[in-house]
Amino acid sequence: MVDHLANTEINSQRIAAVENCFGASGQPLALPGRVLLGEGILTKECRKKPKPRIFFLFNDILVYGSIIINKRKYNSQHIIPLEDVTLETLPDTLQMKNRWMIKTSKKSFVVSAASLTERKEWISHLEECIKHLLTKTGRQPCREPAAPWIPDKATDICMRCTQTKFSTLTRRHHCRKCGFVVCADCSRQRFLMPRLSPKPLRVCNLCYRQLLAEKKKEAEADRRQPEPIHSAIQGYEPSSGDDSDKSDDEKAEQWPADTEFYTSQVSWSSFHS
């Protein structure tokens, strides 16, 4: 189907229509060999509350955005390379049905479909595109996906100290490493995680200590490696680094570090044929 539609006029028109809906706020989507396979509205579990989002599945990327006027105007465009995507089906909750998680190295989030059949269609076509891309490029699936942010309403207290109660004056924060909802005192540290951002990101105290320990362990392993024979060559400067370790007392946690908040056990308009 992809080979049949690639570089056809109808495919070009469909992609141009999506570009027009995003307008100047969106990026160009037309590329040689790129095919728009389907589109539909899914409910995305956002930080504050679930919100409808328009999704477009191409043979190499997944695009989604906010709906201003359906079929006419969208904004807040996000583009996800399918090579970086892994999927995980999730159990239903009282509020959300037909859920699954879209996981990438930079961002992971939960979406839900209007029906079980629709979810199966989405997952089936996504997995088919991902498998084709990985086979074509020889890449391995994403092994370290980013943690999804736990919704604000999932807890009224800090998930680390379990003491601080959130209110209008006491803000919720999210650890960028584990995704937990934490208070300011439990997330004063910042840590550089190049996979997520070029700038240091907020992390909870527990994740900060773990990240520091991992960094120190990596530095020690590098120092133990034998010095290369060519190290004496003029101009060669072997890298070295010494990491300082910080620690601070932390109260007993109700949610251990290895706890997974998400664990597994609006309709799709069309897949073009």
How do residues 157-167 score in pLDDT, each as one tens digit?
Answer: 999 999 999 99
Residues 271 and 121: beta-carbon distance below 8 Å: yes
Query: In the chain, pLDDT over 90 holds for what percent of residues?
Result: 69
Task: Supply the CATH classification number for the domain 3-145.
Answer: 2.30.29.30
The distance in angstroms from the start CA to the end CA of the chain is 7
CATH architecture group of domain 149-219: 2-Layer Sandwich (3.30)
Question: How confident is the model at residue 247, as a pLDDT?
Answer: 39
Other CB atoms closer than 10 Å to residue 237's CB: what's the count?
6
Q: State the pLDDT at residue 1.
A: 59
Average pLDDT for the chain: 85
pLDDT over threshold 90, residue 20: yes
Cα–Cα–Cα angle for 109, 14, 133, nearest 5°?
Answer: 50
pLDDT band at 5 (very low <50, low <70, confident <90, very high): confident
pLDDT at 237 over 70: no
Q: Where are the domains of the chain?
A: 3-145, 149-219
